[in-house]
Structure 1
Amino acid sequence: MAYSLTFYLILTLLLTCNLYVHACYTSIISFGDSLADTGNMKLLSIKTHGTTPHFVFPPYGETFFHKPTGRCSNGRLIIDFLAESLGLPLIPPSLAMNATGNVTGLGHGVNYAVAGATALDSSYHEERGEYTRTNASLGVQLGWFKESLSSNCPTVSDIKQLIGSSLILMGEIGGNDYNHALESGKSIHEVEGYVPFVINTIISAVNELIDLGAGTIVIPGNLPIGCSATYLTIFYGSNKVHYDNMTGCITELNKFAEYHNELLKTELNIIKTVHPQVNVIYADYYNAAMQVFLSPHKYGFTNGALKACCGGGGPFNYNSSITCSDPLSTLCDEPDTYFNWDGLHLTEAAYRFIFKSLFEGTYTTPQFRSVCPTSRLRPVGGGVASSM
């Protein structure tokens, strides 16, 4: 992939990093997978003439953008709501270029997240007989970013100024490492062995960014994957799993996600001790989302939290052979009343809820509003659709 595609993003970011003097951060730099990808996989498939992913077709994007943008949802993602709250434009994918060769959405951040990306390099999974959708692991994404820095930042102090004034989002990343393994038929117990390697990869990336000058890094944990319509469908009718009576979620998978999160928090606490000057923020995606799985109607998800709005039928409206956007798929009438969008990803309403719980609520450690006071955040509402 041509690293020059991010040249203009980084260069203009350097030139404009002091424009937003009233905001907490001048820009957002993001890494991750489909929970954060704002269009890289879409652009990557076009540039490489690869298989066109299903999420570049309607009804993806219908709620806010009114067209598919490459986001795996009907609208905005957590990163979009965060950018809006900081008074920044929506963060463009790093591969975004227009017909004249200029990158769109300059000066306010770069998003390296790619749908399907893993924390571990693809070779790790290939050696274990697992199919990965893209060779855009966390290490690859970080490499793209560092290559851009080395090409465009004259001095170390320039690099530190850029990164130090940015809010860095480290994912979500790691979920696909487990998804690929579980979908290939490996047991939950087998996949538990992957967790230390995934965590070490994330922690190594965090340390690299701190060495480069990062001042604030948000590191999300895993969602409660036992509540995913994908896994509820895969294990439907199986006597090998147990279900939580309060949520209907698969207990073993949620315990697995909690194991990942606890190990991640332990390692992040070590970093906080070594680098007390850095805001290392753990984002508790698991418990933020669990509020809804426990009481969906309380939070306005009147069609529940487990069944997908868009999918190929079945008890959870998910069918791996009939994806959302397939002519045979079914689409709900009121996406905002559903938490799950397409079986694996969430609706815009769900992402808005999680964003508010994290960045305006109490589900980050330390609380984000203590690092960036709420009075300096803009309220997130309906907004105006971007052309991205």
Structure 2
Amino acid sequence: MALKAYIFHILTLTFLVLPIVSSANFSIPAIFNFGDSNSDTGGLAAGIAFPIGQPNGQTYFLKPSGRFCDGRLIIDFLAVNALDLSFLNPYLDSIGIPNFQNGCNFATGGSTILPANAASASPFSFGIQVAQFVRFKTRVLELLVKDKKLQEFIPSQESFRQALYMFDVGQNDLDGAFYSKSEDEVLALIPIILTEFEAGAKKLYNEGARNLWIHNTGPLGCLPRIIAQFGKDSSKLDQFGCVTSHNNAANQFNMQLHDLCTKFRVLPGANVTYVDIFSIKLNLISNYSLYGFKQPLAACCGYGGLPLNFDNRIACGQTKILNGSSVTAIPCNNTAEYVNWDGNHYTEAANEYISSHVLTGNYSDPPLLVNAQYHIESKLFDPKTI
């Protein structure tokens, strides 16, 4: 089945409030995304001039694109390849006459759900991103009243109602907490984190958001940076070489996030899809060779050699003097053989794998076929594309 038709089928089976139409032209008109570096398409680079230079972007864009990756992110594959929308422009990027007709990306690298403080990598925490959306929507609707021609560049009023509101955030809250707290203290923090997330999501609901697509957090303990810092004692690693405490915290976060998604569904008209990114990523790491990868944990772009090829003193693409010698953290010869890009983020090849598994619908809750009877007559995809 063609990718575009496939996700149309998935979304129509999942989102009951979306209009049941009889036209094959059904589509999601816009995406509004909230998150951290896993879905940042240039927000941090634009917002605080964070340097994301070469070799980032080398695989697909052939130059740095504001993404912490050699190429495309999961959000890129879902928006462009699956929904036939344009790449999402960052809210914070005003250079190059950005087009927001198909939505806007509020995600920024380093962002947390809890409010940022002076030590935060990004000042644009989830609450700030939600506030940015409110301002964005208010300003768009004001402009549309003045000049309808602006719909070529900004979303229509109807697009806000029909849009997909995507979330991938929370990893940095857990990550940062482990540097000053015990595992039990991190676990105790999770309800506080999710209370903040609930407040932000409800603000979006009050602004008209109805179709919420929520990614849980990935296996934090499998990142090379985390393993290098917290995995020096092999007894703290699981059978895959990942740090047990961090993955435990991620699992606890995800279980409580799942419960919160269930709670959201009582809101009138709310359609909430919970996507188990953790399971997709862990399956890739634990069965990497089945999917054509050769290195499940090592960073492609790093320094130090296997097994992790990561040194926290030097980031991907940097040249520094270490131990009296000038060294450069360079990328591997074939990024498609690596799951991890730079010690913190995934390669384009891994992101493509993850996206393809998201699109199967097997990792979504509610199960996609539960509501199929409501849409069976909508004919939103052509069986000839199978």
Give the TM-score normalised by the residue count of structure 1.
0.80
Matched residue type, 2:205? I
- Quickly say closer, same or farther: Cα 1:376–1:264, change in 2 above 3 A: farther
CA distance in 1, matches of 2:380, 2:248: 33
Deviations 1:73-115 (A, max 9, x none): 000001100112101111111122236xxx3234111001111
Residue among 177, 184, 204 paired with 1:189:
184
The DSSP-based 3-state class of the residue aligned with 2:346 is: coil
Q: How does 1:302-341 map to 2 (within 5 A)?
A: 303-314=294-305, 315-327=307-319, 328-341=328-341
Which of 55, 58, 63 aligns to 1:62? It is: 58
C-alpha deviation, 1:268, in angstroms? 1.1
Amino acid of the residue matched to residue 167 of structure 1?
L
Identity %: 30
Alpha-carbon contact 1:195-1:260 (below 8 Å) kept: yes
Structure 1 residues 374 and 295: alpha-carbon distance in aligned structure 2, compared to 1, 3 A threshold: farther
Which whole-Å deviations, capped at 9, do the CAs of 1:232-262 have from their partners, x for residues lacking one? 11123226x53222x2222222111100000
The residue that corresponds to 2:322 in the other structure is none
The corresponding residue for 2:12 is none
CA distance in 2, matches of 1:188, 1:76: 33
User: 2:31 aligns to what SS in structure 1?
Assistant: strand
CA offset at residue 159 of structure 1? 8.7
State the superposition RMSD in angstroms.
Answer: 2.7
- Give the structure 2 partner of residue 121 of structure 1: 115
TM-superposed deviation, 1:305: 1.1
**Alignment of 1:81 onto 2:84:** no
Among candidates 176, 180, 185, match of residue 176 of structure 2: 180
1:263 maps to: 256
Map 1:149-298 → 2, pairs under 5 A:
149-153=137-141, 161-170=158-167, 172-182=168-178, 184-238=179-233, 241-245=235-239, 247-275=240-268, 277-298=269-290
Paired residues, number:
336
Per-residue deviation at 1:148?
A: 2.1
1:272–1:63: structure 2 CA closer, same or farther, 3 Å change rule?
same
For 2:323, the equivalent position in structure 1 comes to none
Superposition TM-score, scaled by structure 2 size? 0.80
Distance (whole Å) between structure 1 residues aligned to residue 125 and residue 355 of structure 2? 24
Contact kept? 2:130, 2:203, Cα under 8 Å: no
Q: Give distance in 2, aligned partners of 1:298 and 1:261.
A: 26
SS in 1 for 2:206: helix
Q: CA deviation at 1:229?
A: 0.8
Distance change (3 Å), C-alpha of 1:121 and 1:71: same
- Give the deviation of 1:312 after TM superposition: 2.0
State the secondary structure of the residue aligned to 2:250: helix
**Following the alignment from structure 2 to structure 1, what is the Cα–Cα distance between the partners of residues 173 and 58?**
29
* Structure 2 equivalent of residue 139 of structure 1: 127
State the Cα distance separating 1:353 from its structure 2 match: 1.1
1:185–1:319 Cα change, 3 Å:
farther
Distance (Å, rounded) in 2 between the aligned partners of 1:178 and 1:159: 37
Q: Distance in 1 between matches of 2:128 and 2:258?
A: 24
Q: How far apart, CA to CA, are the structure 2 residues paired with 1:367 and 1:68? A: 38
Deviation at 1:368, TM superposition (A): 6.2
Aligned partner of 1:362 in structure 2 is 362
Counterpart amino acid of residue 197 in structure 2: I
CA deviation map 1:172-200 (0-9, x unaligned): 11111122222x34322222222111111
Q: CA deviation at 1:45?
A: 2.5
The offset of 1:207, in angstroms, is 1.7
Q: Is the 8 A contact 2:26 2:380 kept in 1?
A: no
Structure 2 CA distance, aligned partners of 1:39 and 1:142?
17
Match of 1:13 in 2: none
User: Where does structure 2 lack aligned partners over 5 or more consecutive residues?
Assistant: 1-22, 144-154, 320-327
Matched, 1:24 2:18: no
Identify if the C-alpha distance between structure 1 residues 319 and 97 changes in structure 2 by more than 3 Å, giving closer, same or farther: same
CA distance in 1, matches of 2:382, 2:251: 32
Alpha carbons 2:24, 2:381 under 8 Å: kept: no
Q: Residue type of the partner of 1:69?
A: S
Instruction: Give per-residue Cα distances to partners, 1:137-186, cap 9 Å, x unaligned.
Output: 0000111110122233259xx9973321111112x11111122222x343
Structure possessing the higher relative contact order (Cα contacts under 8 Å, 6 or more residues apart): 2
